Amino acid sequence: MGVVFSVCLLSGCDSSSSTKTPATDKSGVAPEAGAASGPANPAKLTKVSLLLNWYPEAEHGGFYAAKVHGIFEKYGLDVEIQPGGKTTVVPQTLILGRVQFGVANADDVLVARNQDIPLVALMAPIQQGPRCIMVRADSGIKSFQEFKNLTFQVDSTRPYAPFLRSKGLLDDSVKLAPYFGSVAQLVAGPGYAAQGYTFSEPFMAKQQGVEVTQLMMSDIGYNPYASLLVTTETYLKDHQDTCRNMVKASVEGWQKYLTDPAASNEIILKNNKQGLELDALVYGVEALKPLCMVNGELEGVGQMTHDRWVDLSDTLVDLKLIDRAKVNVDASFNKDLLK
């Protein structure tokens, strides 16, 4: 992440609860009529907060679906979804105890742990890394080996930037420029490339009349899990039942979103203050489906493997972004709650 965080004690307890009413909560979501039945005592729900790592978009759809369709309530949870943004720092907010859960990518987890912020990944809705580098189709570039003589808009603090350099794919002909979440310069004229997610920014460019070629980072070996549900080691240790219920509800929410996204997309639009349009969400969920499947099935949503985490940690060590002495792959993720 490029930021060193201070470590504080996490506070909070499972005993906090609230009485649900039909009114919307801070996330702007009211349970859908006919939603999943509530817990045995629906008046008592464990209240927790989930902090997103970006403005609400399709990459968060499953969490909104769990809210919209009453799935969180089914598992005894009252979840406040807090939108993120350009300045959101999920690891720091978690370790300060301001929220109980967050959304982060696998490389974020390992980098945070290297900075003594003991995050733990609980489930991985997006299996195949969605990170792409966009070039204009009219540039003729079709591979990373042809990635030359461009101004590349990228967050240079993110691990995939040094990864590209380590592979010899960012030579001196490529000028790095900041990326501010807009495809405007890419659209304005030739000579630009930009980072993006395959289910988002390419559609934004197409809406503005520019076709792009997507160069997938996963194709060259950089493939971290994305949109992970994360918490801290302390919270997981002290609140096993809440974490287990959060995982189960999130898995069901993602399965629901990927098969029936309409109601969730309405709420995402209401919570996104950046001009997101429905067409972008419709495109996004269809592009997400193959990225979320395990062996072609949605039943595997959320799964993680030890080998994937080892491969990623080895990559980050090789890039000198984390210290091998601080790597503890087994503590970085927990797949027991998925059972």
Query: Which CATH architecture best describes the domain 131-220?
Result: 3-Layer(aba) Sandwich (3.40)
Q: Is the pTM of this model over 0.95?
A: no
Q: What are phi and psi of 6, to 5 degrees?
A: -80, 150
Closest among 337, 315, 331 to 109, alpha carbons compared? 331
pLDDT in tens, the chain (339 residues): 333 333 333 333 333 333 333 344 545 554 443 344 444 465 699 999 999 999 999 999 999 999 999 999 999 999 999 999 989 999 999 999 999 999 999 999 999 999 999 999 999 999 999 999 999 999 999 999 999 999 999 998 899 999 999 999 999 999 999 998 899 999 998 999 999 999 999 999 999 999 999 999 999 999 999 999 999 999 999 999 999 999 999 999 999 999 999 999 999 999 999 889 999 999 999 999 999 999 889 888 999 999 999 999 999 999 999 999 999 999 999 999 998
Separation of alpha carbons 46 and 16, rounded Å: 6
Task: Please check whether residue 196 is in contact with residue 154, taking contact to mean a CB–CB distance below 8 angstroms.
Answer: no
**Which residues neighbour 243 within 8 Å (Cβ) at sequence distance 6 or greater?**
122, 231, 235, 236, 337
The answer to whether domain 17-127+224-338 and domain 131-220 are alike in fold is: yes
Class of domain 17-127+224-338 (CATH, top level): alpha beta
Q: Any residues with CB less than 8 A from the CB of 87 and at least 6 apart, and which?
A: none
Q: State the residue for tokens 């696998």.
A: 106
Give the count of alpha carbons within 13 A of 208, CB side only: 14
Question: Of the candidates 254, 195, 203, which has an alpha carbon nearest to the alpha carbon of residue 227?
Answer: 254
**Paired residues of 119 in beta bridges:** 232
What residue spans define the domains of the chain? 17-127+224-338, 131-220
